[in-house]
Chains A and B, each alone.
Chain A
Amino acid sequence: MKIQYCDALVIGGGLAGLRTAVATQEKGLSTIVLSLVPVKRSHSAAAQGGMQASLANSVMGKGDNEDVHFADTVKGSDWGCDQEVARMFVTTAPKAIRELAGWGVPWSRVKRGERSVVINTERTTITEADDAHGLITARDFGGTKKWRTCFTSDATGHTMLFGVANQALKDDVDIRERKELLSLIHKDGRCYGAVVRDLIDGELEAYIAKATNIATGGWGRVYRTTTNAVICEGTGQAAVLETGLGTLGNPEAVQFHPTPIVPSGILLTEGCRGDGGVLRDVDGYRFMPDYEPEKKDLASRDVVSRRMMEHIRKGKGVKSIFGDHLWLDISILGREHIEKNLRDVQEISMTFNGIDPADEGPKGWMPVRPAQHYSMGGVRTKPTGESPDLSGLFSCGEAACWDMHGFNRLGGNSVAETVVSGMIVGNYMADYCLENEIDIDTATIEAFVEKEEQNIREIMSRPLNDDSIFDIKRRMQEIMDDKVGIFRNGEELQEAVDELRELLERSRKVGIRYVTHASNPELVEAYRLPKMLKIAISIAYSALLRTESRGAHYREDYLKRDDANWLKRTLVRWSDPEATLPEVFYEELDIMKMEIPPAFRGYGRKGMTIEHPLSAERQAEVDRIREELEANGADRFEIQDALMPFDLPENYKEKNERQGIGYA
């Protein structure tokens, strides 16, 4: 048996995993990163439009700060997030972006003087200040009060990923590619590392570490139509479920992005609308202002996606052999702007659809329809990133339910979360490694490895039947698209759960045609499939049980956000490995500790909330504390601290400087 020892083990080599690894390595800990693919090919690279951080450099960001970013994030989450974590995030985001600038991410910069932009389809001139020249600029994004999304054209994830990966190479982090997590090694409530399969030679190895981090990204591929890369299959989160101890938080909170291109489902960034692009229907009519007079095309993603589907249901979609769609029009931004700031969008549209979006008028309109995009749910963690269930197990990035996104994530907040949580969780994880030794015997390790070897032998020994792995997988994806999508109802969710459970049974019996260990994609599909089905069942079942509508979770049979009964986080545990259904329980969100108690989001339908009695009580308390402190001359930091104190490692809690106002 091969055993590899290290201090910190990071599973997943995207932005979150790599930034975590830099944190632990720079604290003198031996760190290993394991990745399914070369790390610079991770799905982080596909983040297009940008990263939110309240730098307030551009004239359109003036007045922005952590407080505004925090309020936008909480409203975006439909009050489902952990507000303490959201505070940690917004306070660290400006530091993260400045760190990345120092690592060479070529952020677009403010240029002094007049420039022409498109706002509400009108060409408008704005004037950037002299003293902001050369600082990092930002664009508009959905659900935000200020222009806060910093960018490098529409390849922001790519440049960030290369910046962080290069830093990891500089620090000599041990990065190993084509390695797949099969299971977590644990004993007496403590995680000790992982059983890992080499995807080239098929050998199993045990990686033993003081702390292990699951940074494996989202689980979008349990859906058929998704913007996610093909590696985003949720097997990291499934490995946590399969410990029988670790929990997933809010799996039903699934984001559908408004503008993937039809039919490939490849993302067209929200920056298209942030920069002034608009949605149009079959008549070429711009319909969003009718539904959302204030935020129009730039309401939060859950709201825009629902409005689009609502409009299609009214018969206003464009018919095609790939189903009805709407148009995304960025031609009004002009060719120069598109070829500088939306060039990947242009390249995607031209390559896959033969449409140049810079062509004027209907010729340049791109066919779009909402599709699965992001998992707000994931491995449940504490604010430190550690699992509340398994000591020494950490998680961050999209894989985690840390939980700064609640039931809807704002555009630009996920790529920001990757690096910010990498900084924060990476430091807490390093502290854990420094404070805790390893004490596990090799017999225990061997038993975990043997169990996985046995599983692979068992798959290879199954007789071929009429069933096919690919059929089961496709059926799972169809069920998720059709019955666990944007509009959900009890009847269809129940059907989805029932059929997914049958598929899980079938996946445990299906045989494979090739029985070699080395480089065998069919075998890989076979052992991943039950893991994916457990994630799919967790999503569908949690969605069935949550009888309210909140953020991206929308129940046609329970239209209201029900704060009185549902201001709580779903937790899912899978204790019985033979079962086809997990246990579901709940964690209350404490209104009396919230800095912003539940209220109307400012977009979406009004009057659709069942109030919690404590919301008003807490609001009165917040108002009183604020008033008293303001009368005593307290600044915004002191008021914030009085309302909801929070901790951060390193110097991340220090104030962030802004041009013209210093540290105010």
Chain B
Amino acid sequence: MPDTAQNKGRMLTFEILQYNPSDPQSKPHMVTYHLEETLGMTLFVALNMIREKFEPDLAFDFVCRAGICGSCGMMVNGKPLLACRTLTKNYPDGVLRLMPMPSFKLIKDLSVVTGQWMDGMSKRVESWIHSKEEVDLTKLEKRIEPEVADATFELDRCIECGICVSSCATALMRPDFVGAVGLNRVARFDVDPHDERTAEDFYELVGDDSGIFGCMTLLGCEDNCPKNLPLQEKIAYMRRKLANVKDTGGGLEIRVEG
């Protein structure tokens, strides 16, 4: 804590985009607020102060305020960040320009629809275990190598905050792009021994330009992921794997649904 002491009392400037698309009178515009910095101030603290003091209907989303739930992604001086983990002391000139994340439908001000987008992604990549094995709950669980469980966990840490999508040029050009979040999800089920899906199955889900072949490897996702997921490595791995499915051909033609 002591390292924040020198910044106490500094006057901060917040420039916040305000716009309510459901109100025909409303036009997007920036509004400026000034707040005195407090010790350890985060954007969670600052935005709530602005709502209490100046703008009671300012819309933004927080849930856990601890960097765990992924609710509060927003653009801070042009970079998508989790607002709750963003400390004002890290902005030397004291100016923070806040905008909603692009690529998601705007509700109002800083609040965007990420949940439905993520549910759509989850359904598209069938983000659940595919297994013909019936689990008998009274019996010992299936054994998993500890390292494999850890590797699955590593990719299961994604919190669906949407920061990878709002960092992604492909997502801006192709609204149907599944995003790094979707490709990471495929990689997660690929490594999980509970899931019986093959590379061919994953190819069916994401083997096109709105999926694994749409990524232009600009890797804003990797740069901005607040959970430091190995997105670059996993996208490259899945692309190589699924590209091979296409090369071998044949197998796909004879697949029968059902």
The answer to whether B63 and A108 have CB atoms under 8 Å apart is no
Given contacts A46-B68, A106-B192, contact A470 B116 (CB under 8 A): no
B131 adjacent to chain A (CB < 8 Å): yes
Of A40, A137, A525, A654, which contacts B160 at CB under 8 A? A40
Contact with A along B19-61 (1 / 0, CB 8 A): 0101100000000000000011010000000011000111101
CA distance A659 to B143 in the complex (A): 11
CB distance from A31 to the nearest CB of B (A): 15
The answer to whether B66 and A348 have CB atoms under 8 Å apart is yes
A41 adjacent to chain B (CB < 8 Å): yes
Q: Which residues of B contact A320 (CB under 8 A)?
A: 1
Given contacts A166-B122, A657-B139, contact A516 B57 (CB under 8 A): yes
The answer to whether B141 and A101 have CB atoms under 8 Å apart is yes
User: Which chain B residues (106-137) contact chain A, with CB distance < 8 Å?
Assistant: 107-108, 111, 114-116, 118-119, 122-123, 126-129, 131, 133, 135, 137
The answer to whether B68 and A45 have CB atoms under 8 Å apart is yes
Q: Which residues of B contact A452 (CB under 8 A)?
A: none
B17 adjacent to chain A (CB < 8 Å): no
The answer to whether B68 and A344 have CB atoms under 8 Å apart is yes
Contact with A along B68-111 (1 / 0, CB 8 A): 11110000000000000101000000000000000000011001
A243 adjacent to chain B (CB < 8 Å): no
CB distance from B184 to the nearest CB of A (A): 12
The answer to whether A512 and B69 have CB atoms under 8 Å apart is no
The answer to whether B146 and A111 have CB atoms under 8 Å apart is yes
CB distance from A273 to the nearest CB of B (A): 19
Of A135, A231, A520, which contacts B143 at CB under 8 A? A135
A26 adjacent to chain B (CB < 8 Å): no
Contact with B along A500-518 (1 / 0, CB 8 A): 0000000000001110101
B255 adjacent to chain A (CB < 8 Å): no
The answer to whether A229 and B63 have CB atoms under 8 Å apart is yes
B254 adjacent to chain A (CB < 8 Å): no
A71 adjacent to chain B (CB < 8 Å): no
The answer to whether B128 and A46 have CB atoms under 8 Å apart is no
Given contacts A38-B114, A134-B146, contact A521 B63 (CB under 8 A): no
Q: Which residues of A contact B67 (CB under 8 A)?
A: 347-348, 351
CB distance from B123 to the nearest CB of A (A): 6
Chain A contact residues, majority secondary structure: loop
B199 adjacent to chain A (CB < 8 Å): no
CB distance from B86 to the nearest CB of A (A): 9
A170 adjacent to chain B (CB < 8 Å): yes
B15 adjacent to chain A (CB < 8 Å): no
Q: Which residues of A contact B174 (CB under 8 A)?
A: none
B190 adjacent to chain A (CB < 8 Å): no
CB distance from B156 to the nearest CB of A (A): 5
In this complex, the interface size class of chain B, counting residues with CB under 8 Å from chain A, is 35 or more
The answer to whether B149 and A108 have CB atoms under 8 Å apart is yes
B234 adjacent to chain A (CB < 8 Å): no
The answer to whether B22 and A229 have CB atoms under 8 Å apart is no
CA distance A353 to B119 in the complex (A): 34
CA distance A367 to B40 in the complex (A): 14
A79 adjacent to chain B (CB < 8 Å): no
B195 adjacent to chain A (CB < 8 Å): yes
Q: Which residues of A contact B64 (CB under 8 A)?
A: 41, 43, 45-46, 229
Contact with B along A127-159 (1 / 0, CB 8 A): 000000111110000000000000011010011
B140 adjacent to chain A (CB < 8 Å): yes
By beta carbon, the residue of chain B nearest A55 is B141
Given contacts A99-B135, A266-B66, contact A367 B1 (CB under 8 A): yes
The answer to whether A41 and B69 have CB atoms under 8 Å apart is yes
By beta carbon, the residue of chain B nearest A524 is B57
The answer to whether A512 and B56 have CB atoms under 8 Å apart is yes
Q: Which residues of B contact A116 (CB under 8 A)?
A: none
B236 adjacent to chain A (CB < 8 Å): no
The answer to whether B146 and A108 have CB atoms under 8 Å apart is yes
The answer to whether A102 and B20 have CB atoms under 8 Å apart is no
CA distance A136 to B70 in the complex (A): 28
Q: Which residues of A contact B66 (CB under 8 A)?
A: 46, 264, 266-267, 348
21 A-B interface contacts by CB (under 8 A): A38-B160, A41-B63, A43-B63, A45-B68, A46-B68, A95-B138, A107-B149, A111-B146, A153-B153, A155-B68, A169-B123, A169-B128, A200-B22, A344-B68, A353-B1, A354-B3, A367-B1, A518-B20, A518-B23, A525-B56, A658-B140
New A-B contacts (8) at CB < 8 Å, excluding given A99-B135, A102-B129, A658-B140: A42-B63, A104-B192, A109-B145, A159-B156, A201-B22, A320-B1, A516-B57, A518-B20
User: Residues on A close to B: CB < 8 A?
Assistant: 37-43, 45-46, 55, 95, 97-99, 101-104, 106-111, 133-137, 152-153, 155, 158-159, 162, 166-167, 169-170, 175, 177-178, 200-201, 229-231, 263-264, 266-267, 320-322, 340, 344, 347-348, 351-355, 367, 468-470, 512-514, 516, 518-523, 525, 651-652, 654-659, 663
The 7 closest A-B pairs by CB, nearest first: A38-B115, A134-B143, A522-B56, A95-B137, A102-B135, A106-B152, A109-B146
